[in-house]
Structure 1
Amino acid sequence: MYPVRDKTEEILREAESCNPGPWGNHSRTAAHCAEKIAEYSGMDSEKAYVLGLLHDIGRKFGKRHLGHVSDGYSYMMSLGYDDVARICLTHSFNEKDIEGYVGKRDTTPEETELIQTGLAEIELDDYDKLIQLCDAISGAEGVMDIIDRMTDVKNRYGSYDQSKWNTNLGLKAYFEKRMGKDLYEVVDKANFRP
């Protein structure tokens, strides 16, 4: 279950009014990328757009790091949008391992348990992988080179797990092979602005 595009955009606008910041345009860039990649990958581009737009919706509840994962998951579950809740949970964990999280651990023990239990129950599918890739190429100003984006995150947080780094590069290669096209060409890296 996920909302239609108009409702999705309304949810994001309302969330931005609660916690303004660059995360809103980052989410718009991720949605654009997800939609375009899905079109060339034989996936549902509307679903991909919605999942990309709402992957960081937990940021509505304030300036949290790992906490935005559990906040987003709980918020989307409360609205009955299970597919979006799943993406809120999986987008930061391309190896399904909470230890690979880049950023501060600011969750309560209950929130941490929710994330760990949820990840253990999920087998990552192509929508999970798609949003993980789009998260790794989406900046607030537009599409970024994946290496530049990961380096930016590493510089902001002081580290970036090498295994997570390699998995992101693997996701890029996976979707490029699936599309038969260059990733940056598909998402119009040179021109797209949120």
Structure 2
Amino acid sequence: MERNQNGRKYPSMEEAKAALAEAALRNPGNWVPHSEYTAMACKAIAERCENLDAEKSFVLGLLHDIGRYVGVVKEKHQIAGYQYCMERGWEDAARICLTHSHPTQVVSANFQNWDIPYTDCEFLRHFVEETTFDDYDRLIQLCDCLAMPYGFCIIEKRFVDVGLRYGVSDHSIIAWRKVIELKKYFEKETSCSIYQLLPGIFDNL
């Protein structure tokens, strides 16, 4: 594993943008602008939080789905993104590739429909459940639910969008409640409605 020359565990904004652009050439799709809007939401919220770095937040948001460079996949994008970032010494970004889809920190043991080997399923489950989430994990989990390919959206609209594409389970409802908790948490941190920080969001109701 290579280590960044600057000692950071995540790339610069320029490196992250270049990585996403290269990934988009390999697998173009709605996931690319979704990643860009996720990053912009992360930056906007982080700028109002004393304990978050806005540039780091942008970069981690931009790369959360980078594993989709491998093609049209489901859970595989988490493992592929983790491996991609670890190969480049981007440990913080690699972590986000695994944690962003699991706000409840509970990974289902029902792996039959997952598109990764059982060993990867177990690695993902142990990683997520044994990691102590910080505010970067929480921020990307929230902002992932604030971004559509065409702009920012209220979280309930994102819930419906994902539910229509992938289906809804009992765990989905638990995860949605957790994201609503994250929204309230960051509204306390920013002292405002997070929707006020996202330009054009009410045009997408």
Higher helix share: 1
Amino acid at match of 1:173: K
Shift of 1:120: 2.8
| Superposition pairs of residues 47-86 of structure 1, within 5 angstroms | 47-86=56-95
Under a length normalisation based on structure 1, what TM-score does the superposition of the two structures give? 0.94
Under a length normalisation based on structure 2, what TM-score does the superposition of the two structures give? 0.89
* 1:118 paired residue among 115, 127, 134: 127
Instruction: Determine what percentage of the aligned residue pairs are the same residue.
Output: 38
CA distance in 2, matches of 1:109, 1:30: 30
Q: Which runs of 5+ in 1 are unaligned?
A: none
Secondary structure, counterpart of 1:41 in structure 2: coil
- Are 2:180 and 1:172 aligned? no
CA distance in 1, matches of 2:202, 2:159: 21
| Superimposed CA distance per residue, residues 49-77 of structure 1 (whole angstroms, 9 cap, x where no aligned partner) | 00000000000011110111111011111
Greater gyration radius: 2
Q: Which residue of 2 aligns with 1:137?
A: 146
CA distance in 1, matches of 2:203, 2:118: 40
Q: Which runs of 5+ in 2 are unaligned?
A: 1-8
| Superimposed CA distance per residue, residues 149-183 of structure 1 (whole angstroms, 9 cap, x where no aligned partner) | 10111111121511101001111111011101111
| Superposition pairs of residues 150-189 of structure 1, within 5 angstroms | 150-160=159-169, 161-189=172-200
CA distance in 2, matches of 1:190, 1:136: 12
Q: Which residue of 2 aligns with 1:128?
A: 137
Amino acid at match of 1:124: F
User: Do the aligned partners of residues 147 and 16 (structure 1) sit closer, same or farther apart at CA in structure 2, a change above 3 Å counting?
Assistant: same
Q: CA RMSD in A?
A: 1.8
CA distance in 2, matches of 1:189, 1:183: 13
Amino acid at match of 1:66: E
